[in-house]
Structure formats: C-alpha cells, structure tokens
Amino acid sequence: MNKIKLLVPYVILAVCLMMAAVSRASAATFYFSPVEARIGTGGEVDVSVFLDPAGEHINAVEGEVLIPNNFVSVGAISDGDSIIGMWIQKPAYKDGKIIFSGIIPGGFDGTYEPLQPKRKAGKLFSFRVRADKAGDAFLVMRNVQALRNDGFGTPTEVSLLPLPFEILEYKGAQVEEDADTVPPEPFMPKVVRDKDIFGGKYFLAFQTQDKGHGISHYEISETKDVWVTADSPYVLKDQSLQSTIRIKAVDYAGNERTETITSKYSFAEEKGRFELLALLFLGALLVYVFRYIYMRRS
C-alpha cells in the first residue's frame, strides 16, 4: 500500500506530461524547473517558471502559482534573467499564491542558441521553496493566460505542468547563495509628454533588467542628494525641465546602475555657449580677412 502511495505523484506527473505532449503542437506550455523535487524537511530548492511558446509568438502572460502552505513556504522571488521586458505585476507572494503578469515587447517565440535548430523555452521568474513538513505536495499554476503578438492580443491555448514535491523526514540541505556583484543592465530613460496622459504633464519612462537576482526597486533624484523610490511612469516634479534627473536601478543584491538626463536648461546653456564661441571665432576670422585685404591694398 505504501509503495502504491509513493507512486501516485509520479503517475499524476506522467499523465500531465502525456496530455502536454498531445496538445504541445498548438499550446504554449508553462512548466517548472526542476520538473520534480525530493528533499528533506528544512531543505530548500530554487524553482523557476518557464514558458515554451511551442510555435506561438507570445507578447503577454499572466497567472498564479499555488503554494501548498501546509508543506512548503516561499522565500526570495527573483525576476533576474527573465524574458519579461515590462512587469504589470511583478511576481509577488500573497495569500498562498505567487501572482505574476507581464509584457514581452516584440513578442517571444523561443530563445536561440548557435547550431541548435530548436528554440528553447524562456524563464519568467524563479523563487525559493523551503520544505516544512514531510509528505507529498504539488506546485501548480492556475488562471494562466498567454496572448499572441498578433496586434490583437488573442489568447492562445496553454498547457500547465505541475511540480511534484516529495518531502522526507530528514534534515535537508540549504541553498548556498551565489555572490552577485553585477549591476543592472544599462538603460535609456525617456522624458515624455502626452496631452492624454497625466494631464499633459512631463513624465519619466524607464525600464531595465538584472541578470542576477532581479530588480528590487528604482530611485529618482531631481534635486541634489535627494532620492525618492519610484516606479515607471513617474510624473516629474520639475515641469520646467531645468533639473538634472538621475534614475537609479537597484537589484536585490544591492548593486546599482544610475543613468542621468541632463536638464533642458543645461542643454540650452551648452547650445548658447557653443553659439557664442562660434560667433567669436567668426568675428576673429572676419577681422583677419579684412586686415589681410587692407595690407594687400596698401
């Protein structure tokens, strides 16, 4: 009887894999990595959520990961190295589930590798799971949507694979943290104004990625040494655009990347300085020409 009980999670996984294989040709597949886990109580494992577009061209996804709280708990969540270019809802744990929603600008039909004809799945995000109680448990996804990059956001069929957990009564291993000293990727923040957005006020649009632990937050400074935590889009306090704007991206390891937008006033000042120098040079040139002509005549 105990042997049959132990086989139940693997039978369920096999059935899910068979169903996914049947629908794979026409369904985008969401799955976990690793595909199964066996750990001791107190042990930890890092789990990633992947999207295999399976021939589709996907530009938006959303969904939930259900966490069996009676067996496991969730630790750090990271969107480092994600294919998502813009999060509508960054992966966050609340009320027994991880909720996520994001956009992939330009769409996603798989990652490419040299000399590999088949395109690979792309990572959405990852999270750490701690085994709290012995037993059999599953991580599953629900309310998942994938929208095609067809100009209409047409939903496509999706296939969802669970992650079976076998938690045993022995002290499990802890996950050792890798040192992350790499700052977020360079980015180009933009000052934008649209009559239909924020009452026609100037606002700041920005976004970047971090290949390590993911972006923790952004900070903005319009005044020297005064920083505020902010999200994109951000309505500028200085609507005259005379301030130098600095945008700082901070990852979960504390690494920072700061980009600067020179103020409109500074641009005008530099332009005026250039024009003044040009006029002085032209004036000196004319004086030299006239003097040369006068000397030739005399």
How is residue 188 written in tokens? 């180009």
Integer Cα distance of 67 and 137 in angstroms? 9
pTM assigned to the model? 0.66
pLDDT, position 34: 92
pLDDT, position 267: 43
Instruction: Tell me the average confidence (pLDDT) per consecutive run of 10 residues in the chain, 298 residues long.
Output: 51 49 66 90 92 93 95 90 89 94 91 78 94 92 95 92 89 63 88 86 87 84 88 90 91 88 57 51 54 51
Integer Cα distance of 212 and 180 in angstroms? 6
Characterize the bridge pairing of strands 28-33 and 158-160.
Answer: parallel
pLDDT, position 60: 95
Alpha helical stretches, state H, the chain: 2-23, 264-297
How is residue 10 written in tokens? 């693997």
pLDDT, position 31: 96
Integer Cα distance of 248 and 218 in angstroms? 6
∠ CA 21-25-31, nearest 5°, is 55
Give the SS3 label for residue 199: helix
- Residue 205 region by backbone torsions, left for phi larger than 0, else alpha for psi between -120 and 50, else beta: beta
Radius of gyration of the chain (CA): 28
